[in-house]
Structure 1
Amino acid sequence: MSYLLGQRDTLRLEVRDEQGNLSNADVALTLTKPDGTTASPAVDNPLFGVYTAQVTYDQAGDWLRVWQVSGAVVAVDSDQVHITAPALRIVGLAQVKKQLNIDPADTSQDEELSGYIDAVTEVVEDIVGPVLPRTVTETHTGGAGTLILRRPPVISVTAVVENGTTLADGAWQVDPETGILTRSGARWAGTVAVTYRAGRTVTPPSIRLAAKELAQVNFRPQLGGDYSPFDTDSAEEGVPGEVRLGFFVPRRVRELLKPYEQGGWLP
């Protein structure tokens, strides 16, 4: 399951004996957080054989939840939950549900669909570079008049530190699309640390549409019906007969992304 950072959850466990009947026992809950630390929330016994605990997820990442049962019944039950921090994605859940013709009031698949949207964001950004704005700090070695930032396009450069000295804005120029950072009238010397905002302040319509199409084509088999896991004879869908298992990028999605595709010369 997946929750948002800071979300509060009520965990519930039913304890049953070998005959399948509810039974009281000694129950403890241990949570292992993403950083490896553990917590043991108080466990309540509101009903016979039923145990609950309240937990607030205060770290992003994967949490392990282990119920330890002893006494009249001896058992161990475990599961895990993924916690994500609220963040922008190329397309929102409502947009993708509309693309898939899912009723907005139907929330039964929201969690699973959100995971697909996260994966789509990674796939699209691997092709076109950062779309969602983020701060990047990276280190380069001087020696030439230019260096290439690794995560273009570049919204803005916030700091350039050459051999421990912060350079004024006029000491360099940047090409936002290629990420080429040029030293004015000189060569870069020593170690150069660059902090910049990568991504796009406005997501181009074709990238947004490509993300929705990619989410649709990969999630559609989950909707059941008579949809085949194999491709159709349509060239737009990819190679006829190609298996649609796992993530792949259909031809029409590649065409939508082509105007913004990063070149092979990037490091």
Structure 2
Amino acid sequence: MALLTLEQAKSAVSIPATTTQYDDELEEYVEALTEVIEAFVGPVTPREVVEQADSRGQVLVLLTTPALSLTSFTPVATGGSSVDVAGLHLNGASGTVTRLDGADFYGGPWTVTYQAGRASTPKTISVAARMLLQHWWRTRYGAARGNPGGGEDFDVNEPVPGFGYAIPNRVLQLLEPHRRPPVVA
């Protein structure tokens, strides 16, 4: 479920498509940048999520957002009552689930199966993935790669809270419109 294909990664760091010397390393970088970006914006590529959820009122909140669709809503305990997903409303951006009849959820906890991710990858996320790969690729050997005095476009002079120097501010700025909502306990 990577954000970039190997061909896109090679293109982003100017490696000819026919060169295979760096394929394993590039694939590792792409897997890592996918994890980092999805930690900031939530899942990008659609995937199935199964979680246990509970509610004591009219709203149930899913843990993984954005959510695309509900698949099933079954009670954890035997004897509990299932909820037909056709009778539920999903706000995918916030991950909130409400009943269309306005009633409270009761009889839980439930095992909720749903699709999380995005129907299509926003262009700013794709560009951010390429920029992050370029940053990591160009800085992987430090000063030994040339330009020991710094000043390159991919330098990060100020650490980003929670991300240190690994994520350039320009990448985070591209991701900001898609940032996960804060989690409230």
TM (norm. structure 1) is 0.59
For 2:145, which of 210, 220, 225 is the aligned residue? 225
**What is the identity, as a one-letter code, of the residue corresponding to 1:145?**
Q
Instruction: Point out where structure 2 has 5 or more consecutive residues left out of the alignment.
Output: none
How far apart, CA to CA, are the structure 1 residues paired with 2:62 and 2:155? 34
CA distance in 1, matches of 2:73, 2:112: 5
CA distance in structure 2 between the partners assigned to 1:170 and 1:134 by the alignment = 20
Separation in structure 1 between the aligned mates of residue 84 and residue 159 of structure 2, nearest angstrom:
57
1:187: how far off?
1.5
Cα distance, 1:222 vs. partner? Answer: 4.0
What amino acid is the match of 2:46? Answer: P
Could you say what secondary structure the match of 1:165 adopts? coil
Find the residue that maps to 1:173 and give its secondary structure: strand
Structure 1 residue 171 corresponds to structure 2 residue 171: no
Indicate if the aligned counterparts of 1:172 and 1:181 stay in contact, CA closer than 8 A.
yes
Percentage of pairs with the same residue: 31
| Counterpart position of 1:153 | 66
Greater share of residues in helix? 2
Q: Is the 8 A contact 1:128 1:260 kept in 2?
A: yes
In the alignment, is the contact (CA less than 8 A) between 1:231 and 1:238 conserved in 2? no
Q: Deviations over 1:231-266 (max 9, x none)?
A: 5376x8432699xxx972110000110110012235
Q: Does 1:122 align with 2:35?
A: yes
What root-mean-square deviation, in Å, do the aligned CA atoms of Structure 1 and Structure 2 show? 2.5
Aligned 8 A contact 2:41 2:180 in 1? yes
Do 1:97 and 1:103's aligned partners in 2 also have CA atoms closer than 8 Å?
yes
* TM-score, scaled relative to structure 2: 0.83
Judge conservation of contact 2:71–2:85 (CA < 8 Å) in 1: no
What residue number does 1:180 align with? 96
Give the total of aligned pairs. 175
For residues 171 and 90 of structure 1, do their structure 2 counterparts lie closer, same or farther at Cα, with a shift above 3 Å needed?
same
Cα distance in 1, alignment partners of residues 95 and 113 from structure 2: 12
How far residue 159 of structure 1 moved from its aligned partner, in angstroms, is 0.8
Return the structure number with greater relative CO, CA threshold 8 A, min gap 6: 2
- Say which of 44, 47, 56 aligns to 1:131: 44
One-letter identity of the residue aligned with 1:128: V
Pick closer, same or farther for the CA change 1:231–1:125 going to 2, 3 Å: farther
Residues 240 and 139 (structure 1 numbering): CA distance in 2 closer, same or farther, change over 3 Å?
closer
- What secondary structure, in the 3-state scheme, does the structure 1 residue paired with 2:97 have? strand
Contact 2:43 2:66 in 1 (8 A): yes
- Partner amino acid for 2:24? E
Paired position in structure 2 for 1:257: 175
2:159 and 2:165 in contact (8 A); partners too = no
Contact 2:90–2:98 (Cα < 8 Å) also in 1: yes
Structure 2 counterparts to residues 1-267 of structure 1, below 5 A: 88-162=1-75, 164-184=80-100, 185-189=102-106, 190-222=108-140, 225-228=145-148, 232=151, 237-239=155-157, 248-265=166-183
State the Cα distance separating 1:216 from its structure 2 match.
1.2
